[in-house]
Amino acid sequence: MAKRHDIVPGDRVDLQYKNSPEYRALVEEAGKKGNIVVTSPTYRGVPVVFHRDQILRLSFYRDNGKYSMDVKVRGFSMSNEIRLVELECVSDVTKVQRRGYYRLPVVLRTEVRRLPVALPTELHRLPEVLPMLDDVMSYEEAVDALEEYAVDEENSTTRDISISGISVKSKTNFVIGDKLVIKVHLGWPDATEPPIAAVVEVRRVEYDPTGGIYNVGLEFAGAFAKRDVITRYIYEQQQKRIRQEKLIKDE
């Protein structure tokens, strides 16, 4: 079993706040008074905001799997213009099972349209191979081409979103394997940017009798071209929620 002293300077570790995405950091010191000093993680060049006494989940990897433990933020320092975070181990190390991508609970406006089983010959494989070769058709062009044949438009809202897919509330009892064209308005109801469009495949359908609706799990089909946009949106929302919790705690 891995132990906390297995972590050594030079290790790369992931830091996670509750259910946030995991942020990569580099171990600078380990073992000093049982604490670990890591570089402050950044995302797209912007420092990830942590606060003193915040509890984080630290994960590290070995040949036989992934291990994690709880750590508390004890303080911050600078070394050669690099911001460092001192962490105190506050739990035992446990081996964890790999899980899917982080899903951000959020309500966003969406429009969903079903793709028919029968498509023109030149388009019938597009849902599986989006996009085709860049010099033939871009992802956006492929979605536009498919959207012309989509039917049964329905306005709905999301339950959560991740870089692998979306869960929506729907009045339609979709069938697992159905392919849809979806438009998602990130930042709704204050969004000013046009919605992102994608082809998705139905992976899960669960009926909710209390609301008379279906909770539908959708997976992005093919080489989804907007993962960076969704990754940035999830990160920004998570940071906003962290700041809000900090303000509430300080009041």
One domain, residues 79 and 126: no
Q: How many domains does the chain have?
A: 2
Residues 6+ apart with CB under 8 A from 85: 25, 37, 38, 39, 40, 50, 73, 75, 76
Looking at residues 127-138, what average pLDDT do you find? 49
Q: Which residue bears the tokens 């606060």?
A: 51
DSSP code string of 196-223: EEEEEEEEEEEEETTTTEEEEEEEE-SS
Give residue 75's domain range. Answer: 4-96
**Angle, CA of 147, 152 and 154, to the nearest 5°:** 95
One domain, residues 108 and 224: yes
One domain, residues 109 and 223: yes
Question: What is the separation of C-alpha 57 from the centre of its chain, rounded to a whole number of angstroms?
Answer: 17
Is there a domain that residue 148 lies in?
A: yes
Residue whose C-alpha is closest to residue 182's, from 170, 196, 202: 196
**pLDDT at position 49:** 85
Residues 6+ apart with CB under 8 A from 171: 154, 156, 212, 213, 214
Q: What percent of the chain has pLDDT over 70?
A: 80
One domain, residues 139 and 190: yes
Mean pLDDT across the chain, nearest whole number? 81
**pLDDT at position 163:** 83
What residue type is 132 in one-letter code?
Answer: M
96 touches 67 (CB < 8 A):
yes
**pLDDT at position 122:** 52
Is there a domain that residue 249 lies in?
A: no
More reliable by pLDDT, 187 or 73: 73
Q: CATH number, domain at 199?
A: 2.40.10.220
56 touches 69 (CB < 8 A):
no
More reliable by pLDDT, 97 or 125: 97
Residues 6+ apart with CB under 8 A from 10: 26, 27
58 touches 72 (CB < 8 A):
no
| Torsion, CA 131, CA 155, CA 105, CA 22, rounded to 10 | 10
One domain, residues 124 and 143: yes
One domain, residues 74 and 27: yes
**pLDDT at position 34:** 73
Which of 76, 96, 116 is at the close of a domain?
96
**pLDDT at position 219:** 86
One domain, residues 131 and 219: yes
Asked if residue 151 has pLDDT above 80, the reply is yes
pLDDT digits (tens, 9 = 90+) for 14-56: 898 876 767 888 899 987 567 899 999 876 567 888 999 999 9
**pLDDT at position 133:** 37
Residues 6+ apart with CB under 8 A from 24: 12, 13, 14, 15, 41
One domain, residues 115 and 223: yes
One domain, residues 81 and 185: no
Is there a domain that residue 43 lies in?
A: yes
Asked if residue 85 has pLDDT above 90, the reply is yes
For strands 213-220 and 109-114, give the pairing.
unpaired
Q: What percent of the chain has pLDDT over 90?
A: 27
**Angle, CA of 168, 163 and 150, to the nearest 5°:** 50
Is there a domain that residue 248 lies in?
A: no
Dihedrals φ, ψ of 143, to 5°? -65, -45
Q: CATH number, domain at 81?
A: 2.30.110.10
One domain, residues 135 and 220: yes
Q: How confident is the model at residue 84 (pLDDT cuts 50, 70, 90)?
A: very high
**pLDDT at position 123:** 54
Round to whole Å and give the CA distance between 57 and 46.
20
**pLDDT at position 121:** 55
Tell me which of 100-104, 206-210, 241-245 is least confident: 100-104
Q: Radius of gyration (Cα) for the chain, nearest Å? A: 22
